[in-house]
Amino acid sequence: MENSQEAAAFFTMLKHTVESHGCKIVDVDFENHKIDIDGPDENVADCAAAIGKLMD
């Protein structure tokens, strides 16, 4: 992330996306581009796909 304001805005969008799919963020590693999410099995795949779209 270029600056803390951009990082905060991205994290807010990420949090909203994850929670709107019935999941929760367990850990975020911005350096290694890893996001650990938890939720019902049927929701995790949809959540991951939504995160992928957010990243595009």
- Report the pLDDT averaged over residues 30-36: 89
Give CA–CA dist 17/50, Å, rounded: 7
Q: Is 38 helix (H, G, I), strand (E, B) or coil?
A: strand
- Report the pLDDT averaged over residues 8-33: 93
Would you state the structure tokens that stand for residue 45, as one six-digit string? Answer: 């795949």
pLDDT of residue 17: 96
- Report the pLDDT averaged over residues 14-35: 93
Q: Name beta bridge partners: 35.
A: 28
Residue type, 29: D
Give CA–CA dist 1/4, Å, rounded: 7
Domain that holds residue 13: 4-55
Residue 56: band (very low, low, confident or very high) from pLDDT cuts 50, 70, 90 = confident
Closest CA to 38 of 15, 18, 12: 18
pLDDT of residue 43: 95
Q: In total, how many domains does the chain have?
A: 1
pLDDT of residue 1: 47
Q: What is the pTM of this model?
A: 0.82
